[in-house]
Amino acid sequence: MIDKAKVQLEKLTAHRHANRDRQTKSLFDDNPDRFNDFSATSNGLLFDYSKCNLTTETMELLFDLAREAKVSEKREALFAGEAINTTENRAVQHMALRNMSGEPVMIDGKDVMPDILTVRNNMAQFAESVRSGKIAGQGGKFTDIVNIGIGGSDLGPVMATAALGPFHDGPKTHFVSNVDGADILEVLKKIDPATTLFIVASKTFTTQETMTNANTAREWLVKALGEEAVVNQFAALSTALDKTSAFGIADDRAFGFWDWVGGRYSIWSAIGLSLMIAVGPKRFDEFLSGAHAVDQHFQTAPDNENLPMLMALIGIWHRNSCGYDTHAVLPYDQYLHRFPAYLQQLDMESNGKRIDVSGQPVDHETGPVVWGEPGTNGQHAFYQLIHQGTSIIPADFLIAAEAVEPVGDHHQKLVANAFAQTEALMVGKSEEQVRSELAAKGIDADAIDKLAPHKVFPGNRPTCTFMYPKLTPFVLGQLVALYEHKVFVQGAIWNINSYDQWGVELGKELAGELLPVVKGEQKPTGRNSSTAGLVDAFHAMRK
Ligand code: G6Q
């Protein structure tokens, strides 16, 4: 961390210690306008952070931290297309993919917008032709598409296709990611080879899981329809267009993107093709527009109204000053059921780092564990720990004002649950209150003594709430981009490179070494006794 930022972080930690016993609920008693003072909006989306244990002084210290950490200078470098991904010597310019302003975006002295628009137009033409049946399989109009990809080439399309379920009027979409054969097998059982389009999504077109699944799909299709089906029923999304043609995919079915698009930031690129086919190019553009609106907001809104800045700084407060290890994302929106998994990759792969940009170990915490499930299901599972456990878990609640497809009073019940949870987490329930409630029920004093401690809620547990009008493509674009920029700001403050992912390499290398051992072609010589023992047990159990 930059020295001056470190000093600022120490001030924040001292401020935290000085206010250790502060109760958020009393901050509401002190300031009837607290909701207005500690909430912000952007393009119709509301962010309420008033239920976090912080004050104007806390926020000022956090804004100073952002200034000392040079967040705005780093943001300028990001949007200027500088090679801020230093370990891979790449710019980070996924924002260009959703640049709807008509303005150029320069990377290495070249305007990248003409190429982006060409690919997007080609994708749109292809998507429309698949949707209309103009481009069809051997058996006629495509009824199913199967996206084969993993990590950044899977999670974005899976999450967004689920999120925009009510807008889905194209062919059915399926996603295959795991190298576990069960994943592809279950999809192949459901589809007709003659009316299925396979989309192989892989930035590198070398990923073991994806190429294994793509080859299995290819063999299955060829077996059913013959070799000539491949050219017609496969498309590819990749930066390695030489490799896609070697696989047998026609050039006009291969949609490219560029090395300055990180895998986990690639939903806006050709990797979004399955989403585009599902909801149509117009809605895909609305999705891009939502993200573009956030890009503009992030660059222009003052810090105290800037949603990604606020999200990031509150996260830093919780992680670095309060010492909270995890962060829960709790969508009260069933369509966002894969959003926590998506954010898990976005946040943890980006900011799960222990070395700073100058190659030195950091001396502070970086990214928290991110996790979550949709409410209200989580309430009947893990919320016990959030309310009464020993760990404090800051949580984001996400809720729409209106359901896209309302059913009776379901939505009002959903909203009441979301509001009830954030209130309960903040206010809690004192022992005094518990005792008087039990006494009012006529319970005797001994039983009250025994039961009361179990029924106390400490409260003071921080939550932020996002409220949006309705989960439209535009709103989904906003939500994803907000979290992307949050991750950027936190990485900037921690002075780490949020855009590489060396931590996923070692396991891949060892899997490559171990495959011949697992296949029985080599002995596990020289390996530790656990791995060697597991290899032996594996072979023995299969006999
Ligand atoms: C994302 C990561 C990673 C990547 C997958 C798939 O930022 O780099 O999740 O997306 O490993 O890679 P390919 O798209 O190259 O198959």
Distance from C-alpha of 501 to C-alpha of 216, rounded to nearest angstrom: 28
Packing angle between helix 56-68 and helix 3-18, nearest 10 degrees?
170
User: What average pLDDT score do residues 420-441 get?
Assistant: 97
Which token pair is 228?
Answer: 């000539």
Question: In the chain, what are the helix, strand and coil shares in percent, each to the nearest 5?
Answer: 55, 15, 30
Question: Rounded to an integer, what is the distance from CA 103 to the centroid of its chain?
Answer: 28
**90, 92, 153: which to mutate for ligand 1, most atoms within 8 A of CB?**
153
| Ligand 1 atom nearest residue 210's Cα | 16
Ligand 1 midpoint to CA 196 (Å): 24
**437 has catalytic annotation:** no
User: What average pLDDT score do residues 33-49 get?
Assistant: 97
Percent of the chain scoring above 70 in pLDDT: 100
What pLDDT does residue 515 have? 95
**Do the bridges between strand 106-107 and strand 110-111 make them parallel or antiparallel, or are there none, so unpaired?**
antiparallel
**pLDDT surpassing 90 at residue 1:** no
- First-to-final CA distance of the chain: 55
Ligand 1 midpoint to CA 143 (Å): 28
What pLDDT does residue 2 have? 87
User: pLDDT digits over 149-165, tens only?
Assistant: 999 999 999 999 999 99
**88, 147, 150, 158: which to mutate for ligand 1, most atoms within 8 A of CB?**
150
Closest CA to 67 of 11, 12, 8: 8
Closest CA to 275 of 48, 424, 32, 480: 480
Three-state secondary-structure class, residue 172: strand
**pLDDT surpassing 90 at residue 543:** no
C-alpha dihedral (348, 354, 356, 360), degrees to nearest 10 = -170
Percent of the chain scoring above 90 in pLDDT: 99
Please provide the DSSP assignment of 120-145 as one string.
HHHHHHHHHHHHHTSSEETTEE--EE
C-alpha dihedral (195, 200, 201, 204), degrees to nearest 10 = -170
User: pLDDT digits over 81-133, tens only?
Assistant: 999 999 999 999 999 999 999 999 999 999 999 999 999 999 999 999 999 99
Closest CA to 131 of 250, 273, 244, 255: 273
User: pLDDT digits over 216-257, tens only?
Assistant: 999 999 999 999 999 999 999 999 999 999 999 999 999 999
- Residue 416: what residue type? A
| Ligand 1 atom nearest residue 149's Cα | 16
| Ligand 1 atom nearest residue 262's Cα | 7
Ligand 1 midpoint to CA 149 (Å): 8
Tell me the pTM.
0.97
User: pLDDT digits over 391-404, tens only?
Assistant: 999 999 999 999 99
Ligand 1 midpoint to CA 353 (Å): 17
Nearest CA residue ID for atom 8, ligand 1: 263
Distance from C-alpha of 353 to C-alpha of 481, rounded to nearest angstrom: 21
Ligand 1 midpoint to CA 151 (Å): 5
C-alpha dihedral (317, 318, 319, 323), degrees to nearest 10 = 110
User: What average pLDDT score do residues 455-478 get?
Assistant: 98
Distance from C-alpha of 472 to C-alpha of 528, rounded to nearest angstrom: 52
H or E element in which residue 200 lies: strand 196-201
Mean pLDDT of the chain: 97
Pocket of ligand 1 (CB under 6 A): 150-153, 202-204, 207, 210, 262-264, 349, 501
**484 has catalytic annotation:** no
Which of 189, 380, 519, 543 is an active site residue? Answer: 380
**11 has catalytic annotation:** no
Which token pair is 10?
Answer: 């120490």
